[in-house]
Every structure is written in structure tokens, then in C-alpha cells.
Amino acid sequence: MFGLTDWRQTKFYQEVKEETKQEVKEEVREETKLDTIPRLLKLGLSIEQIAEALELDVEQVRQAIEKQGEEGTGSN
């Protein structure tokens, strides 16, 4: 019978597992970059400098700043 242990040893399972790991790593990396933006702004860097330093598009940086502003001023 084909059990869970057998399933985990298949090439398909291993490939999907590795692909998922890579996707999660990339998402975490992206979130970390976005979380860093406010700190860099406080240090006086421009949007363009932040985008260059974090290897992001200028528009991504602007959107992150806008989103943070909305979250910081949300109604309670």
C-alpha cells in the first residue's frame, strides 16, 4: 500500500516541497523589505534611494508608504 511515507519520497512531492519553500522565502524577503521602508524614511533617504537600496520599484515603495500611512491613521 502507498502510505504517507512513500508519498513524501516521490519526486513530485520533493519538487513541490522545494518550490513551496522558495515561494515562502521570497514572500518573507519581500515583507522584510517593505517593513524596512519606514526606518529608511526616518533616516532621511528619498523614495528613489530606498527603492534602489532594497531593489524595489519606486512605485512599490510609494504604495508601501501609503499603506503604512493608512494603517497608522486608521479609525478606532
To which residue does cell 519606486 refer?
58
Q: Determine the average pLDDT of the residues in 45-59.
A: 97
Query: Closest by alpha carbon to 2, among 15, 16, 13?
Result: 13
Which one-letter amino acid corresponds to residue 25? K
Quickly state the pLDDT bin for 1 (edges 50, 70, 90): low
Q: Determine the average pLDDT of the residues in 38-52.
A: 97
Positive or negative, the CA dihedral 75, 58, 30, 19 is positive
pLDDT for position 34: 93
CA 3/CA 62 separation, integer angstroms: 50
Query: Closest by alpha carbon to 51, among 28, 32, 33?
Result: 33
Q: Determine the average pLDDT of the residues in 13-31.
A: 94
